[in-house]
A and B are shown apart, each in its own frame.
Chain A
């Protein structure tokens, strides 16, 4: 019996468990803070009431309304999006065997942004709404469609005799992002002040618009896609040695590749469509996990879900509180919190020669 190997497996479980507990604490804390401070006792009671317990206990009515209609949908969306971005980044980095990869590389974010700016600037000409609730609904839908079209186009262009050539895929992704950048630039050239502002805020990310309706649309995808990515953890480990090597070890490389790219595109596309572009999480969280612990994807993937959710929940707390009653764009905060932390870790890892 080998003690070290058994220990490492139970240690992984402990890491994931600890992250889960920390995330839970962060969620509860997040529910208490904001323009209206809600004591933790009220938060607990309201949560338990939703589960059908403590039905008879009375709580502050306003607290209940704020929780029900604002904070709960928001925290749910935050957790789902953070997790989806984290695990998509981890899976794509593993698949491309490149630690610099982030979800935008396969064209998702670029396609979404291009479609969104087109609707914001030129939507009026096609009788699309440009304000109000209809606009709020159209924007996510358009972002999702744009992301999906761009990804499918990149995949199609990168396939060669039925195989996806990763080197070509990266180049096509770069070209696709440049093209989307050109569309965005051109649209901005024609945009007026107001449209410019709308688009700028969209690119910085925004969790403020969370509603139960959005949660219901997003939740199935943002739960199922990450869960299905977890299934590929072992195949991703084998792919770390290279595609030919993974095939030698029994991985059906082409199918695995296609599944991981489509699942990631789906998760990121839906996330971007719900909250705008939130950078950084998909790139950095998987690295943090690898540097802090080890690169086995059976740990990295689940830990990236929890880590991504944790970073986004913490960032959201900061975004909502520092300039109360206004709100900072969430993308600004994730980068402000994540980047220095990441640089510190890189310096440490460099010293230990682990990069």
Chain B
């Protein structure tokens, strides 16, 4: 279990996170949604132990996260950033192999893991390609393979993957691909936490859903239970209509067009 309890984080006097609690279960896909600037990325960075919370605590597999060394922690949680710049001409395979940095496994074992992880992320054809020459979507899938390689080993303890808007700037086919791989990953005793930009995708793939607004959790729970018109409208200050898609057997929303062309979102009266 990967739990964050009562996290607060401020930058000078501005509260970015305010008493946020979140629970990440192995084998489940948990998504966080919220408007720009709601504190989603900060939450992820605190959860990854990259930032220290002002108050509150993150506990991973029963032990406070700040008691793990970088190396030890990396064996049970991996992080996929929005995008990664690589200044030198590494091959795709070399990037994926970096995921094995902290592991003491043999070269042969690492080779096998690199290949399996690349196959799972659908990038096994790019192994020898230079990372710099890949398209945005291909790069992100290579990075995803790297993250998978980091937590690939079958262990007795559960492992976790944190994804920070992994599909920003990808086309819809690539987005669906990344999220369906993330779901498959859950079956390996891995808990997935993803910041998701597209609400319809969030409800389509997630088991649990957190709505974050101005550093506060507005609603949290089973994805389809909390995916309501009122939760969405409150979180995003935007009117939406909720429908049901019979093909996927899944709810979806379409945002309403503001009638007056009024772009003053904060003052929209919600009914």
Whether A20 sits at the interface, judged by CB under 8 Å, is no
Chain B residues with CB below 8 A from A355, complex form: 89
Interface contact A249-B99, CB-CB below 8 Å: yes
Interface contact B74-A250, CB-CB below 8 Å: yes
Chain A residues with CB below 8 A from B98, complex form: 237-238, 240-241, 249
Whether A219 sits at the interface, judged by CB under 8 Å, is no
Whether B7 sits at the interface, judged by CB under 8 Å, is no
Residue of A nearest to B127 (CB): A4
Whether B73 sits at the interface, judged by CB under 8 Å, is yes
Interface contact A294-B102, CB-CB below 8 Å: no
Complex interface residues of chain B between 98 and 140 (CB less than 8 A to chain A): 98-99, 101-102, 107-108, 111-112, 114-115, 127-128, 130, 132-133
Within the assembled complex, what's the spacing in Å between the Cα atoms of A98 and B73?
Answer: 28
Instruction: Flag B76-89 by CB within 8 Å of A: 1 or 0 each.
Output: 01110100111111
Whether A244 sits at the interface, judged by CB under 8 Å, is yes
Interface contact A244-B90, CB-CB below 8 Å: no
Nearest Cβ on chain A to B162's Cβ, whole angstroms: 8
Within the assembled complex, what's the spacing in Å between the Cα atoms of A238 and B94?
Answer: 10
Residue of B nearest to A251 (CB): B70
Chain A residues with CB below 8 A from B127, complex form: 4
Which of A5, A234, A241, A354 is in CB contact (< 8 Å) with B130? A354
Within the assembled complex, what's the spacing in Å between the Cα atoms of A6 and B101?
Answer: 17
Residue of A nearest to B72 (CB): A250
Interface contact A2-B115, CB-CB below 8 Å: yes
Interface contact B84-A241, CB-CB below 8 Å: yes
Interface contact A294-B86, CB-CB below 8 Å: no
Interface contact A247-B70, CB-CB below 8 Å: yes
Complex interface residues of chain B between 41 and 82 (CB less than 8 A to chain A): 45, 48, 50, 69-75, 77-79, 81
Chain B residues with CB below 8 A from A6, complex form: 107, 111
Which of A9, A248, A294 is in CB contact (< 8 Å) with B91? A294
Given the known A-B contacts A4-B127, A242-B85, are A295 and B50 also in contact in the complex, defined by CB atoms under 8 Å? no
Given the known A-B contacts A241-B98, A245-B81, A249-B98, are A295 and B74 also in contact in the complex, defined by CB atoms under 8 Å? no
Chain A residues with CB below 8 A from B87, complex form: 97-99, 240
Name the residue in A6, A234, A235, A247 with the highest tally of chain B Cβ atoms < 10 Å from its Cβ.
Answer: A247
Whether A214 sits at the interface, judged by CB under 8 Å, is no
Chain A residues with CB below 8 A from B73, complex form: 250
Whether B150 sits at the interface, judged by CB under 8 Å, is yes
Interface contact B86-A249, CB-CB below 8 Å: no
Interface residue tally of chain A, by bracket? 20 to 34
Chain B residues with CB below 8 A from A4, complex form: 93, 127-128
Interface contact A290-B115, CB-CB below 8 Å: no
Interface contact B108-A1, CB-CB below 8 Å: yes
Whether A114 sits at the interface, judged by CB under 8 Å, is no
Given the known A-B contacts A4-B127, A5-B111, A250-B102, are A240 and B90 also in contact in the complex, defined by CB atoms under 8 Å? yes
Within the assembled complex, what's the spacing in Å between the Cα atoms of A250 and B101?
Answer: 7
Interface contact A249-B84, CB-CB below 8 Å: no
Within the assembled complex, what's the spacing in Å between the Cα atoms of A253 and B69?
Answer: 11
Within the assembled complex, what's the spacing in Å between the Cα atoms of A4 and B112?
Answer: 12
Within the assembled complex, what's the spacing in Å between the Cα atoms of A252 and B79?
Answer: 16
Interface contact B89-A295, CB-CB below 8 Å: yes
Whether B95 sits at the interface, judged by CB under 8 Å, is yes
Chain A residues with CB below 8 A from B81, complex form: 242, 244-245
Within the assembled complex, what's the spacing in Å between the Cα atoms of A295 and B79?
Answer: 23
Chain A residues with CB below 8 A from B88, complex form: 94, 99, 240, 290, 295
Nearest Cβ on chain A to B192's Cβ, whole angstroms: 15
Name the residue in B94, B95, B112 with the highest tally of chain A Cβ atoms < 10 Å from its Cβ.
Answer: B94
Whether A42 sits at the interface, judged by CB under 8 Å, is no
Within the assembled complex, what's the spacing in Å between the Cα atoms of A248 and B86?
Answer: 16
Whether A160 sits at the interface, judged by CB under 8 Å, is no
Residue of B nearest to A252 (CB): B70
Whether A353 sits at the interface, judged by CB under 8 Å, is yes
Residue of A nearest to B112 (CB): A2
Chain B residues with CB below 8 A from A253, complex form: 70
Interface contact B111-A247, CB-CB below 8 Å: no
Interface contact B89-A294, CB-CB below 8 Å: yes
Residue of A nearest to B133 (CB): A353
Within the assembled complex, what's the spacing in Å between the Cα atoms of A234 and B85?
Answer: 18
Whether A296 sits at the interface, judged by CB under 8 Å, is yes
Within the assembled complex, what's the spacing in Å between the Cα atoms of A1 and B93?
Answer: 15
Within the assembled complex, what's the spacing in Å between the Cα atoms of A16 and B237?
Answer: 61
Which of A2, A240, A251, A252 is in CB contact (< 8 Å) with B86? A240
Interface contact B71-A5, CB-CB below 8 Å: no
Within the assembled complex, what's the spacing in Å between the Cα atoms of A353 and B90?
Answer: 13
Name the residue in A4, A240, A247 with the highest tally of chain B Cβ atoms < 10 Å from its Cβ.
Answer: A240
Within the assembled complex, what's the spacing in Å between the Cα atoms of A264 and B112?
Answer: 36
Name the residue in B69, B74, B77, B78 with the highest tally of chain A Cβ atoms < 10 Å from its Cβ.
Answer: B74
Interface contact B50-A296, CB-CB below 8 Å: no
Chain B residues with CB below 8 A from A296, complex form: 90, 94
Within the assembled complex, what's the spacing in Å between the Cα atoms of A240 and B50?
Answer: 17
Of all A-B residue pairs in the complex, the 9 with the closest CB atoms, nearest first, are: A250-B102, A250-B74, A295-B88, A248-B79, A250-B71, A2-B111, A5-B111, A249-B101, A97-B87
A4-B127, A248-B79 are known; give 19 further A-B pairs, CB within 8 A. A1-B108, A4-B128, A6-B107, A97-B85, A99-B87, A237-B94, A240-B90, A242-B81, A242-B84, A247-B70, A248-B74, A248-B78, A249-B150, A250-B72, A250-B75, A252-B71, A294-B90, A295-B88, A295-B89
